[in-house]
Copies of this chain bind each other. A is one copy, B any other.
């Protein structure tokens, strides 16, 4: 008999898991909607021409491709030296940013000029499965396209703070940096612009491997020791300063006009968030680099004090949409690490008691007139109550056991007398208490 497990790195979500996932997604959605974000959904499959070249070489390798069928496949297979690119033209969604860029390019005129969207959908990556790393997992993105206003940054960041607070996260901060500040630090340290990418990879590890570790990495990456030290002074030397102090220090270290402009952006952002949930959480972190090369302005990362690693991140990327539309459309986005959030909430028992199934189970006796029971269930359901009927003849003990196993809090035991007198004993399964009620009483008690 064939395996009945889901494919490697993918999961079946049984009712308990779906309920928890939906609780979190619901909180996220409600909060983002309060900020005026609108929902978007895109197809599971995209043309490979949309996906390839957007995620770097490693991304291209991790894409799932959909095999040609019929004629097209036969034709491809007769070609000499047939390879991967001859066998597929569709791939599975790899993130939610590229589909957004495609959508803005395609429907630009029928969308609001300043488009605020949230999107919670699965993506697929053929990565090696590991603890907390799946091949099918959900992403949760908010983005604002069409404006360079710093209000957009403020909205995205404070909405995200609200989401995390709503979910019960308390001790987190948002590391903040700016792509142009990073570039200016590289320049000020006398590092060749061609080495910017490799230098940033090393700097990004400051939290994990410390100053000495990063210095070693920088020199291994062909950066002179003096330059490495100078870069480390700027990125790691500000630990005791508050945001204003850091800005002042960077203003001195980075006199070039584009860096001064970027520091103005940062100062504006900090000022505008003063009266929001993000106000006390933003923390200027010159070592924050984030991997993605498409960022052009402010970048963010949520750091939890209770858990290592990030809960999400984002930044401004003003050039990506233009790759699809041919015209410049500025954009800022934030992606929450949904699977990570779910895992941490599970580990820290942060879920409230989520009512999953029915509120009451109707149990019957061997001679109960079932048509009346079905009718009663129907009327209770019309009143909005979640009702289960135990569908088989069984000992009462077995029926109550089933209710218990499904965490159904009440049982209604209905025999022929109850039907004829229209008085029903409602049993609280936790306390064992029982009260006899008519139909109106049941509706009041169970609602």
Assess the A43–B386 pair: CB atoms within 8 A: no
In the assembled complex, which residues on chain B have CB atoms less than 8 Å from the CB atom of A66? 64-67, 92
Assess the A2–B47 pair: CB atoms within 8 A: yes
A5 at the interface (CB under 8 A from B): yes
Assess the A277–B370 pair: CB atoms within 8 A: no
Assess the B372–A44 pair: CB atoms within 8 A: no
Residue in B closest to A378 when the chains form the complex, CB atoms = B276
Assess the A47–B7 pair: CB atoms within 8 A: yes
Assess the B69–A87 pair: CB atoms within 8 A: no
In the assembled complex, which residues on chain B have CB atoms less than 8 Å from the CB atom of A375? 274-276
A382-412 interface bits toward B, Cβ cutoff 8 Å, 1 = contact, 0 = none: 0011111111100000000010011000000
Assess the B67–A371 pair: CB atoms within 8 A: no
Assess the B10–A43 pair: CB atoms within 8 A: yes
Docked Cα-Cα span, A272 to B22, in Å, equals 34
Residue in B closest to A393 when the chains form the complex, CB atoms = B149
Assess the A378–B158 pair: CB atoms within 8 A: yes
Docked Cα-Cα span, A374 to B391, in Å, equals 56
Docked Cα-Cα span, A154 to B33, in Å, equals 39
Assess the A107–B12 pair: CB atoms within 8 A: yes
Q: Which of A98-106, A283-291, A293-301, A338-346 contacts B (4 or more CB under 8 A)?
A: A98-106
Copies in the complex: 2
A80-110 interface bits toward B, Cβ cutoff 8 Å, 1 = contact, 0 = none: 0011100110101000000000110111001
Docked Cα-Cα span, A49 to B3, in Å, equals 8
Residue in B closest to A81 when the chains form the complex, CB atoms = B77
Assess the B84–A12 pair: CB atoms within 8 A: no
Pick the contact of A13: B41, B44, B45, B46 (CB < 8 A): B41
A321-362 interface bits toward B, Cβ cutoff 8 Å, 1 = contact, 0 = none: 000111000000000000000000000000000001110010
A6 at the interface (CB under 8 A from B): yes
* Known A-B contacts A36-B387, A38-B15, A276-B374; A73 and B84 likewise in contact (beta carbons under 8 Å): yes
Residue in B closest to A111 when the chains form the complex, CB atoms = B14
* Known A-B contacts A374-B154, A391-B152; A40 and B65 likewise in contact (beta carbons under 8 Å): no
Assess the A67–B67 pair: CB atoms within 8 A: yes
A113 at the interface (CB under 8 A from B): yes
In the assembled complex, which residues on chain B have CB atoms less than 8 Å from the CB atom of A2? 47, 49-50, 324
A317 at the interface (CB under 8 A from B): no
Assess the A102–B4 pair: CB atoms within 8 A: yes
Which residues on A are within 8 Å of B, measured CB to CB? 1-7, 10-15, 18-19, 22, 33-36, 38-47, 49-50, 61, 64-67, 69-70, 73, 77, 82-84, 87-88, 90, 92, 102-103, 105-107, 110-114, 116-117, 122, 124, 126, 136, 144, 147, 149, 151-152, 154-155, 158, 162, 271-277, 324-326, 356-358, 361, 370-372, 374-375, 378, 381, 384-392, 402, 405-406
* Contacts A/B (CB < 8 Å), 23 sampled: A1-B326, A3-B47, A4-B106, A4-B325, A6-B42, A7-B90, A13-B40, A13-B41, A15-B38, A18-B41, A19-B39, A34-B385, A34-B387, A36-B357, A45-B124, A64-B67, A66-B66, A73-B84, A112-B406, A151-B389, A152-B391, A272-B370, A276-B375
